[in-house]
A and B are shown apart, each in its own frame.
Chain A
Amino acid sequence: GESVGLHLPTLSVQEGDNSIINCAYSNSASDYFIWYKQESGKGPQFIIDIRSNMDKRQGQRVTVLLNKTVKHLSLQIAATQPGDSAVYFCAEIIAGYSTLTFGKGTMLLVSP
């Protein structure tokens, strides 16, 4: 599996900026993708999902983009707030299966 280790990629932004977190997924047979947010001491929290028959999905202040050609997923957070500071994970599920494969994670730090 993917390794998180102690050295997560980190994205530092100012409050009010837009943030873009990227993820390269591993399996071209994956057909369902989820972004999770994990704060210190908490479990992963569902943010937004997207199926492989879509290339964009929007939620409240968040947008997920899916590029199946290059197996790339991104999470855009508009008007980032200090409360958005956390580790963000993308996860994929292969068609016909039920298990999540998580990416490495990206730490988002938002400065006031």
Chain B
Amino acid sequence: DSGVTQTPKHLITATGQRVTLRCSPRSGDLSVYWYQQSLDQGLQFLIQYYNGEERAKGNILERFSAQQFPDLHSELNLSSLELGDSALYFCASSGAAWGNQPQHFGDGTRLSIL
């Protein structure tokens, strides 16, 4: 058990809809990262928050947004969903702002767009 909790485990919705994925980091970790894993693109970094502030941005679509709350949990919002957004979405956390500590991953949310 990595200590990172993601909910829900599975989400099935339709094109055009909006969903929110939730992540609780390991106790004491200030950084939260979101990744997308699809069959054709592998694991891709989306966005990082550190202590409530956006720290780094990767290949995140404009239809996607995230935030980190004062209690350090994070939410990833996906809107105007398309079939191609079907993927596994992982959250990871670490204690550092910079990348010199391992990131620990949750078990992901599997998003299926019908």
* Given A43-B108, A99-B48: A5 in contact with B98 (beta carbons within 8 A): no
B18 within 8 A of A: no
Bound Cα distance from A97 to B98, whole angstroms = 6
Q: Which of B31, B39, B42, B99 contacts A102 (CB 8 A)?
A: B42
B85 within 8 A of A: no
**Of A44-52, A56-64, A65-73, which stretch is located at the interface?**
A44-52
Number of A positions contacting B (CB below 8 A)? 30
Chain B residues positioned under 8 Å from A101 (CB to CB): 45
A1 within 8 A of B: yes
Whole-angstrom distance between the Cβ of B44 and the nearest chain A Cβ: 5
Bound Cα distance from A94 to B107, whole angstroms = 25
Whole-angstrom distance between the Cβ of B32 and the nearest chain A Cβ: 11
Whole-angstrom distance between the Cβ of B64 and the nearest chain A Cβ: 16
Chain A contact residues, CB within 8 Å of chain B: 1-6, 32, 34, 36, 41-46, 49, 51, 89, 91, 93-94, 96-102, 104-105
